[in-house]
Amino acid sequence: MTTMNRQFLLNARPVGDIKQTDFKMIETAMPEPGADEVLVQVQYLAVEPAMRGWMENRADYVAPLEIGDLMRGWGAGKVIESNNARYPVGTIVSGSFGWQEYVVSDGKTIPLQAVPEGVETPASMGVLGITGMTAYFGMLHIGKPVAGDTVLVSGAAGATGSVAGQLARIAGARVVGMAGTKEKCDWLTEELGYDAAINYREEDVAAAVKQHCPDGINVYYDNVGGEILDIALARIATNARVVICGGISRYNLTGEIPGPKNYFNLVFRRARMEGFICGDYASQFGEAVEVLSGYLKSGELKHRETILDGFENTPEALKSLFSGSNMGKQLVRVAD
Where on the chain is the footprint of a second copy (CB under 8 A)? 59-61, 225, 230, 244-247, 250, 256-277, 280
Minimum distance between the CB of residue 266 and a second copy, rounded to whole angstroms?
A: 4
Q: Could you tell me the smallest distance in angstroms from the CB atom of residue 203 to a second copy? A: 23
263 or 295: whose CB is closer to a second copy? 263
Q: What CA–CA distance (Å, rounded) separates 115 from 127?
A: 11
For 63, residues 6+ apart whose C-beta sits below 8 A from its C-beta are none
Query: Whole-number minimum distance, CB 58 to a second copy, in Å?
Result: 8
Q: How far is CA 290 from the centre of its chain?
A: 18
Q: Quote the least distance from Cβ 173 to a second copy, whole Å.
A: 21
Q: Give whichever of 182 and 261 is closer to a second copy, judged by the CB atom.
A: 261
Residues 6+ apart with CB under 8 A from 154: 161, 177, 178, 200, 220, 221, 222, 223, 224, 228, 229, 232
C-beta closer to a second copy: residue 274 or 312: 274
Q: Which amino acid is at 35?
A: A
Amino acid code (one letter) for 292: L
| Beta carbon nearer to a second copy, 260 or 315 | 260
Enumerate residues 6+ apart whose C-beta is below 8 A from 316.
20, 308
Shortest Å distance, C-beta 53 to a second copy:
9
330/121 Cα distance (integer angstroms) = 13
**Smallest separation, CB 77 to a second copy (Å):** 30
Taking the least distance from each CB to a second copy, the nearer of 31 and 216 is 216
Query: Are 243 and 219 spatial neighbours (Cβ–Cβ below 8 Å)?
Result: yes
Report the b/e string of 65-80 with b at 16+ CB within 10 A.
beeeebbbbbbbbbbb
Give 303's Cβ-side CA count (13 Å radius): 32
CB of 322 to a second copy, least distance (A): 16
Whole-number minimum distance, CB 129 to a second copy, in Å?
19
| Residue 201 vs 261, nearer CB to a second copy | 261
Closest CA to 109 of 31, 57, 52, 50: 31
The candidate with the shortest Cα–Cα distance to 165, out of 142, 133, 139, 131, is: 139
- Residue among 63 and 114 whose Cβ is closer to a second copy: 63
Measured from the CB of residue 9, what is the shortest distance to a second copy in angstroms?
25
Of 86 and 141, CB closest to a second copy: 141
State the pairing for strand pair 150-153/174-179.
Answer: parallel
Rounded distance between C-alpha atoms, residue 173 and residue 175, angstroms? 6
